[in-house]
Amino acid sequence: MDTIRKTAAEIFDEVEAYVAERDVDRYTIYRIDKDTPAKEYSFMRLDHARKTGIPLAMEYYRDVYHGYLRPGDTLDSLYEKFNRDDRPAANQMHSLSMSDVIVLHQGGKDKAYYVDDVGFAEIPEFLIPVQEQEQGHDRGQKSLTENTLTFYAAECMEFPVMGEVHRGLTLAEAAKALRDIPDDRMHGGKGIGFELQDGSDYAGSYPLVEAGQVMEDTINSVAYYRDHPGLQAAITEAKTYFPNPPARQERSAGEDRRTESARKEEKTPAGRKESVLAALRAHQEKARTGEKDIKSRETTRQHRKGELSL
């Protein structure tokens, strides 16, 4: 028996060396390692797995079977083979199921396929290390932020269209454009605003810098903006352009009450967007009451419908 085992091991080593040298077409079946984050989508469809945000990566799987591809073998035939009662390694592994992955090595190239509820789906990321996938995700998020967050410099921050305005800028470009706008323009109140177009309830145009002051407290009174990495980076960058804000007059008791009321409203789920806009308006507008407050709410409703308003 010892001789048989030794001889079998030698033959196996020779076969492995032959396969590696000849690069024979083969396949490997991978199954989720229960000790990794991927356990969250075990036996789940691919769309569910992607929604978890957990990378589909070989590092989170373990290989449970190796085999050689014979002429005529396909993913479907492999699925049928590994779901039969007499399937290979039936005592060591359960039948091929959702969330399992088959990697085909053909012609010197590897391709990974996720076993979905119906058929198979190629998942190229499976062959990419988790760290590289996360770095790529960060780059994608940065690109998304750059595409959805832009800045503008306006002669009149209250009504940007009533004076000189420059849109679609980087923050550095907006700061330069602001310096080029004369301080003695009739409309006055010049500043820098941000335009967020990410499809959320918080998309739109809002002030970032007014009268030389970065509106950090106003912006951060809204949780969505406080947690937005691109906007927070913009606040930090804006402080380098406007490091010494001018002295501000003490706010009236009425304005304090309006601001506090708006912040409380933001915590209420219903009418979230209206509350957000109310908080911003109340915190940044000096002494607007009555008719102007009504006009602000009307502007909010029109903005939500996607209508243009002045």
* Lowest-confidence region among 28-42, 64-78, 258-272: 258-272
Q: Give residue 76's pLDDT.
A: 95
More confident residue, 70 or 185: 70
Question: Confidence band (pLDDT; 50, 70, 90) for 143?
Answer: low
Q: Give residue 293's pLDDT.
A: 44
One-letter amino acid at 117 equals D
Predicted confidence (pLDDT) at residue 308 exceeds the cutoff of 60: no
Predicted confidence (pLDDT) at residue 254 exceeds the cutoff of 90: no
Question: Confidence band (pLDDT; 50, 70, 90) for 133?
Answer: confident
d(CA 156, CA 190): 5
Predicted confidence (pLDDT) at residue 44 exceeds the cutoff of 50: yes
One-letter amino acid at 180 equals D
Q: Which residues pair with 67 in a beta bridge?
A: 27
Q: At what angle do helices 130-148 and 229-241 cross, to 10 degrees?
A: 60
Predicted confidence (pLDDT) at residue 55 exceeds the cutoff of 50: yes
Q: In what order do the strands lie in the sheet with 26-32?
A: 61-68, 26-32, 101-106, 109-115, 120-122
Q: Give residue 90's pLDDT.
A: 86
Closest CA to 200 of 179, 168, 224: 224
Predicted confidence (pLDDT) at residue 56 exceeds the cutoff of 70: yes
Residue reference for tokens 């959320």: 200
Q: Give residue 301's pLDDT.
A: 43
Mean pLDDT of 257-286: 50
What DSSP character marks residue 166? Answer: E
**Could you tell me the residue ranges of all domains in the chain?**
2-128, 141-248, 249-305
More confident residue, 198 or 69: 69
Q: Cβ distance 80 to 133 under 8 Å?
A: no
The b-or-e profile of 141-154 (16+ CB within 10 A means b, else e) is eeeebeebbbbbbb
Mean pLDDT of 171-198: 87
Mean pLDDT of 1-25: 70
Q: At what angle do helices 253-266 and 272-284 cross, to 10 degrees?
A: 160
Question: What is the biggest distance separating any 2 CA atoms in the chain, rounded to whole angstroms?
Answer: 101
Mean pLDDT of the chain: 79
Q: In sequence order, which ranges of the chain are alpha helices (DSSP H)?
A: 2-22, 46-51, 75-81, 130-148, 171-180, 216-220, 223-226, 229-241, 253-266, 272-284, 291-304
Mean pLDDT of 102-127: 93
As given in the structure block, the two tokens for residue 3 are: 């001789």
Q: Give residue 125's pLDDT.
A: 92
